Amino acid sequence: MSGSTTQGSSGKLTLGQYLASIRTDRKLTLRQVEEATNKEVSNAYLSQIENDKIQQPSPNVLHALADIYVIDYGQLMEMAGYITQAKARSQGQRHGRVATFANHTLTPAEESELMDYLKFIRSRKKTSDKS
C-alpha cells in the first residue's frame, strides 16, 4: 500500500487502523482472533475492517473485539459512528479522553519518548501561534 497514510483525513486513526494496531500489539493473527471469538468475527471480515473496507461493523462484532483485545467497547462504538462524542469533548475540552496509545503495551522508554514528542509538538504549536 504505497502512498497510503497512517491516519484518516481528519488526522485521527480510523477504526480499522486502530483495531489493526491493537491486534498487532497483542501479537495476534487474523485467524487467532477468529478462533478467540468462536468465529463470530471471521479473519476475512476483520481484514476488511482493518483495511477500512468496512467502516461500521455491527455492535456485536465490536463487542467481541473489545472483549478479545480488552479495550473499551464504548470507544469502538464511538469510532464506528454509533454514538457521538461526549458534549464536553465536542466543545473542545478533552478531559477524560483515553490516550491514543493507552491500550498498547508500551515500555517505559516508549512512553517517555511519546511524552517528549508531545512536548515537542506543543512547543511548535505555541511558537507558530505567536507568528
pLDDT digits (tens, 9 = 90+) for 58-82: 999 999 999 999 999 999 999 999 9
Where are the domain boundaries for CATH 1.10.260.40 in the chain?
1-93
Q: Which of 28, 26, 58 shows the shortest CA–CA distance to 40?
A: 58
Residue with cell 500500500: 1
What phi and psi values does residue 33 have, to the nearest 5 degrees? Answer: -65, -45
pTM of the model: 0.63
Identity of the amino acid at 21: S
* CATH code assigned to 1-93: 1.10.260.40
For residue 28, the tally of other CB atoms under 10 A from its CB is 17
Contacts of 66 (CB under 8 A, 6+ apart): 72, 73, 76
The CA radius of gyration of the chain, in Å to the nearest whole number, is 17
Tens digits of per-residue pLDDT, 22-50?
A: 999 999 999 999 999 999 999 999 999 99
